[in-house]
Amino acid sequence: MRSALESAGCRYTQQRAAVFEHLSQVHTHPSAEEVYLSVRQSLAKISLATVYKALEALVEVGLANKLTYGDDAARYEFRESEHYHLRDVATGEVHDLATPFDPDLLKKLDPRLSERLAAAGFQITGYRLEVLGRFQS
């Protein structure tokens, strides 16, 4: 983590390390506020603004993903590997979808999609897939 931050021109701090440690240990997709409440237990003087800045730094260097959904609060996850998500449209809760990631899925959906988008000046750098629904209580 330290080398990833420093090679991207970001400082390594105790606060960023604590935020990273929390993300790498949870199996949920917490909001910044949820990260703050957890990290605050070990770093009592950390502020919510510092947590936001730490999360953005981790996203910037590729150690975390930021999942945004319109007006809902952004959620964050430790970037282990590419995968899909399930999202509860009522609560905003996000879970990993237990199915293998397919790097060729776009090609399977439309074999000429990449080619057409490139001709229009758009370069695909990746894709996300989420399945929307409601979790039963």
The predicted-structure confidence for 93-136, as pLDDT tens digits, reads as follows: 888 898 999 999 999 999 999 999 999 999 998 888 889 999 99
- In the chain, what are the domain boundaries? 1-80, 82-137
1-80 and 82-137 have identical folds: no
Is pLDDT at 82 greater than 90 in this prediction?
Answer: no
pLDDT value of position 42: 94
The whole-angstrom separation of Cα 18 and Cα 119 is 44
Residue 71 has pLDDT above 70, yes or no: no
- Stronger pLDDT, 123 or 27, i.e. the higher one: 123
Whether CATH 1.10.10.10 fits 1-80: yes
Residue pLDDT, tens place only, 45-64: 999 999 999 999 999 998 99
What architecture is the 82-137 domain classified under in CATH? 2-Layer Sandwich (3.30)
- Token pair belonging to 44: 């009592």
Q: In angstroms, rounded to a whole number, what is the distance separating the alpha carbons of residues 43 and 30? A: 18
Q: What is the rounded distance in angstroms from the CA atom of residue 52 to the CA atom of residue 36?
A: 9
